Amino acid sequence: DGPATMSPTGQATGAEQESVAQGGAYLTTAQGTRLPDTDHSLKAGARGPVLLQDHHLREKITHFDHERIPERVVHARGAAAHGVFLGYGAAGEVSKAAFLAKDVETPVFVRFSTVLGSRGSADTVRDTRGFATKFYTDEGTFDLVGNNIPVFFIQDAVKFPDVIHAGKPHPDREIPQAQSAHDTFWDFVSLHTEATHHTLWNMSDRGIPRSYRMMEGFGVHTFRLVNAADESVLVKFHWKPKLGVHSLVWEEAQMISGTDPDFHRRDLFDAIEAGAFPQWELGIQVFPDTPEQTFEGIDLLDPTKIVPEELSPVRPIGLMTLNANTKNYFAETEQVAFHPGHLVPGIDVTDDPLLAGRLFSYLDTQISRLGGPNFAQIPVNRPHAPVNDMLRDGMHQSAVHTGTAPYRPNTLDGGCPFLAGADTAAYVEAPVRVPEAAKVREAPASFSDHFTQPRLFWLSMTPPEREHIVAAYTFELSKCHEQAVKERELKVLANIDPQLCEEVATGLGLPAPAAAVPLVPADPSPALSQLGGTWPAD
């Protein structure tokens, strides 16, 4: 195949990905010199020593020695596919993003993942699943880097290294927390009660999906949309699978982990190969962009909270179809680089402190994972919009930039069309007012209710779903060695629901503590009206 097409600035555009068949009438070195033989090294006599001068031997082995790159620090195990997103035009009133307009088709690449396991771990473990989508829009790349659970463990990104250290394999014997020494994970979540909501979703059937094709996806954070008149709203993004949401039961999940650790990866690939293309509708919950950034008393900047769909229905705005498998796992699934800061005009971030840390973290980690700052030139990461970015040089630079030095304004390069503010199609951050306030480290009071929403989730479960949750907590906590950790987590469960706490305590052979916070009533409707409560954490 020929080289990728060049954009006006000399960079290959992502629309044309190079595929190299590695076939032909003869073999060559990496320099194109024909080889007579790739099966034998050069020796001084048939049984003599191998000669250092054998460039082909050294080139072949050296390249092999460097075939692996570091796995992702989280979400290391994944599976991905290509597809297309079709805009319904239903978001036009709230966002000027061109790819959301009616009947606009945008290529997408989606990577699903587990969070904690290594690259070779099993698919059906109990964990959160990543659901990251790259939209190659005409206005630049938009990445929606979400999960299959709508809330997160922590409210501040400064805690992210801590929660991951607590959940990853035990440092001395590298045995995954998810299967063996559970103490650190349960120590962390029982000490950080903001993690209660996410942990409860993990212990529910949502933690063991039947298939990537049968998972919801959530942007988790609240985002800000801006329309053509520069009016803004706050939104939460939702992916709803056309096949519905389905889970495994724990016994199935465990058996499949042994018999087919690639279960989810295989399922996705086989379905697409067979033409059974999975589909999701993208939807938004829309809230007024008020200075308080709350809705019905819920702090929209708190990533441990949902907004119940009874209070704000999800409006469908487009349809995604995954219709093509990857051709090369390494080139595409392994090298793809998502970033929550990849935004297009009409979509902006909010001041959620977890999101702020993510906006720093992804580019930073990818510089080491993908070997320098030029990974946007890797085919799967190339925007489909023209690129003119003023970035130069660096490791693995593949563009041959020409012209004078990249600075603006610049009177030496034939005139300067780039006057600040002149491009009306450019991305401009929403002019949100930043409150005048003293610098503080403490969390806002509106982040302090850690139990109302977990309780609502529990109350919304059917009896078999509750049985699964009780069994999951009992099984996982029974793996802890530290009695104090189990007892502290039982106190957390008491603040969700007495029945949940009692049944898990019975399973563990421990006494059930009483709740330390007032519990919202069991009837979900009055409970909903109390969502905005600010009860203190344990």
> How many residues interact with ligand HEM (rule CB under 6 A)?
28
In the bound state with ligand HEM, the residue whose beta carbon lies nearer, of 12 and 145, is 145
The strand pairing partners of 134, in sequence order, are 109, 143
Q: Could you give the 3-state DSSP secondary structure of residue 498?
A: helix
Position 147 contacts ligand HEM (CB under 6 A):
yes
Which of residues 89, 92, 107, 357 is near ligand HEM by CB under 6 A?
357
In the bound state with ligand HEM, the residue whose beta carbon lies nearer, of 89 and 357, is 357
DSSP-assigned states of every residue in 454-467: HHHHHHTS-HHHHH
Contacts of 126 (CB under 8 A, 6+ apart): 178, 202, 203, 207, 208, 250, 253, 472, 476
Which of residues 4, 12, 74, 144 is near ligand HEM by CB under 6 A?
74
- Known active-site residue 75: yes
Sign of CA dihedral 293, 294, 299, 302: negative
Q: Give the closest residue to 111 by CA, choosing from 358, 325, 383, 375.
A: 325
Position 160 contacts ligand HEM (CB under 6 A):
yes
Phi, psi of 363 (to 5 degrees): -60, -40
In the block, which residue shows the tokens 């989730």?
457
Binding window for ligand HEM (CB under 6 A); candidates: 72-80, 183-191, 206-214, 502-510: 72-80
Position 354 contacts ligand HEM (CB under 6 A):
yes
Binding window for ligand HEM (CB under 6 A); candidates: 91-99, 204-212, 256-264, 361-369: 361-369
- Known active-site residue 374: no
Site for ligand HEM in 313-342 (CB under 6 A): 336-338
Position 362 contacts ligand HEM (CB under 6 A):
yes
In the bound state with ligand HEM, the residue whose beta carbon lies nearer, of 161 and 244, is 161
State in angstroms the smallest separation of the CB of 393 from ligand HEM: 23
Site for ligand HEM in 219-278 (CB under 6 A): 220
Are 313 and 285 in contact, with CB atoms under 8 Å apart? Answer: yes
In the bound state with ligand HEM, the residue whose beta carbon lies nearer, of 199 and 366, is 366
CA dist 345 and 363 (Å) reads 20
Position 145 contacts ligand HEM (CB under 6 A):
yes
Three-state secondary structure readout of 372-398:
CCCHHHCHHHCCCCCCCCCCCCCCCCC
Binding window for ligand HEM (CB under 6 A); candidates: 67-75, 170-178, 192-200, 449-457: 67-75
Binding window for ligand HEM (CB under 6 A); candidates: 33-41, 145-153, 251-259, 270-278: 145-153
CA dist 173 and 227 (Å) reads 53
The strand pairing partners of 235, in sequence order, are 223, 286
Which of residues 261, 303, 346, 513 is near ligand HEM by CB under 6 A?
303
Position 117 contacts ligand HEM (CB under 6 A):
no
Q: How many CB atoms lie within 10 A of CB 481?
A: 9
Options 56, 82, 147, 384, the catalytic residue: 147
Q: How many CB atoms lie within 10 A of CB 536?
A: 12
Position 365 contacts ligand HEM (CB under 6 A):
yes
How does DSSP classify residue 347?
E
Q: Is 342 exposed, middle or buried (CB count within 10 Å of its CB: 0-12, 13-18, 19+)?
A: buried
Position 73 contacts ligand HEM (CB under 6 A):
yes
Position 382 contacts ligand HEM (CB under 6 A):
no
Position 111 contacts ligand HEM (CB under 6 A):
yes
State in angstroms the smallest separation of the CB of 76 from ligand HEM: 8
Which of residues 366, 381, 446, 453 is near ligand HEM by CB under 6 A?
366
Task: Give the DSSP H or E segment for 166.
Answer: helix 160-167
Which of residues 4, 81, 132, 496 is near ligand HEM by CB under 6 A?
132
In the bound state with ligand HEM, the residue whose beta carbon lies nearer, of 126 and 339, is 339
Q: Could you give the 3-state DSSP secondary structure of residue 339?
A: coil
In the bound state with ligand HEM, the residue whose beta carbon lies nearer, of 242 and 369, is 369
Are 108 and 83 in contact, with CB atoms under 8 Å apart? Answer: yes
For 174, half-sphere exposure in the C-beta direction (CA atoms, 13 angstrom radius) is 2
State in angstroms the smallest separation of the CB of 422 from ligand HEM: 35
Q: In Å, how far are 92, 223, 345, 428, 455 from 98, measured between CA atoms?
A: 9, 17, 8, 15, 40
Query: Which stretches of the chain bind ligand HEM, using CB under 6 A?
Result: 72-75, 78, 111, 113, 130, 132, 145-147, 152, 157, 160, 220, 303, 336-338, 354, 357-358, 361-362, 365-366, 369
Catalytic residues: 75, 147
